Amino acid sequence: MSSVIEKIETLLVDLPTIRPHKLSMTTMACQTMVIVRMRHSDGIEGLGEGTTIGGLAYGPESPESIKRNIDTYLAPLLIGQPSGNLNALRARLNRHVRGNAIAKSALETAALDAQGKRLGLSVAELLGGARQDHLPVLWTLASGDTRKDIDEAFQRLDERRHCDFKLKIGANPVDRDVEHVAAIKAALGDRAGVRVDVNQAWGEASAVRGIQALQEAGIELIEQPIPAREHAGLIRLARRFRVPMLADEAVADARDGLDLAARGFSGAFALKIAKSGGLQGVLELAHVAQAAGIGLYGGTLLEGSIGTAASLHAWATLDEMTWGTEMFGPLLLKDDIVTQPLNYHAFGVDLPAGPGLGISLDEDKLAHYSRK
């Protein structure tokens, strides 16, 4: 008899960050993860993670709603279903549940982890095989203090941990943000690439002014300068400037990607398993981008080690990540809930080895940080 899903447990886990992390919509001092433990009738447990940024500051799902919706609506759809038919599980969730992409991603990750353990294969192997086992990782400078950000960048360079940096801007007036970014790029010079993420904070007129100045300062990529739904404006900006635009919140899944590509967008797409409802959905988006000649960037919602590992398994199957990845989430946290942290070195991170995600829980740490 084939294995079935027997039980799905969700835990809210609160981990403090190493420093305040300032974005245009919020400042974080703690990250809350929803950890999924999916148990199967053959005794195998799969792990998943659903994580967002700043409660409801980033999007329509909060950690609390992710947990409640999995417990109340999504988990009952999966209990008793065959463990190994991942396409059927995904189709069942999508047929009965609208939206809830982060919750679906956490469940798909757990199902893939369990199937990999069952078959003795990594998640990347389940997805067709890894084409790379070490991926580049940039670091986000988000203290909000120019001098602190410069010092932090040089420290990361000297440690050979990161050689590209992203700056979170948009919370301040355009001129002040541009001055902040330009000073950091001038200090780093040719030692490091610098990009910015505006997190939808500008209108199109402000974006024109800000991007022109950032382009002149030598910034190499502009992420989501205007609101997500303003596709036409994003395309106009992409056509107007030499510096490429990176679509993030504007492109969640393959349908969004097809729409932007068909309307003439050029630049890059930020891939995130959480936006796309899981690993299979994000790879569908990646393949649309590749067919359209649009660059790829491995994005994060600042997941911990479980969600970061899941993303790495997806990115590893792709032939090229033009703009690298930002899978630094675990490094932003003061502690971890896994027995073997991810291995960051040589300006990147290793793909975890072993069956499934290659990740196991530290039960004592999990109990310590789980919300009571």
**Domain ranges, ordered by start, for the chain:** 5-121+362-369, 126-350
* Average pLDDT rounded to a whole number, residues 65-73: 98
Give the model confidence (pLDDT) of 183-202 as tens digits.
999 999 999 999 999 999 99
pLDDT of residue 20: 83
Fold match between domain 5-121+362-369 and domain 126-350: no
Q: What is the pLDDT of residues 126-150, one digit of tens each?
A: 999 999 999 999 999 988 899 999 9
Residue 71: partners with Cβ closer than 8 Å, 6 or more residues away: 8, 10
**Residues in a beta bridge with 140:** 166
pLDDT at 28: 86
221-240 pLDDT tens trace: 999 999 999 999 999 999 99
**Residue 178 host element (H or E):** helix 174-188
Alpha helix ranges (H) inside 39-100: 63-69, 75-78, 86-96
pLDDT band at 321 (very low <50, low <70, confident <90, very high): very high
Q: Residue 264 has which token pair?
A: 């003439």
Confidence of residue 72 (pLDDT cuts 50, 70, 90): very high
Query: Model confidence at 27, in pLDDT bands (50, 70, 90)?
Result: confident
Report the CATH number of the 5-121+362-369 domain.
3.30.390.10
Q: Which residue has the tokens 């991942």?
A: 86
Percent pLDDT > 70 in the chain is: 100
Q: Is the pTM of this model over 0.85?
A: yes
| Confidence at 259, pLDDT banded by 50, 70, 90 | very high
The dotted CATH code for 126-350 is 3.20.20.120
Mean pLDDT of the chain: 97
Tell me which residues are annotated as active site: 168, 326
Confidence band for 69, pLDDT divided at 50, 70 and 90: very high
DSSP 109: H
Q: According to the model, what pLDDT value does residue 1 have?
A: 65
Residue 234 belongs to what H/E stretch?
A: helix 231-240
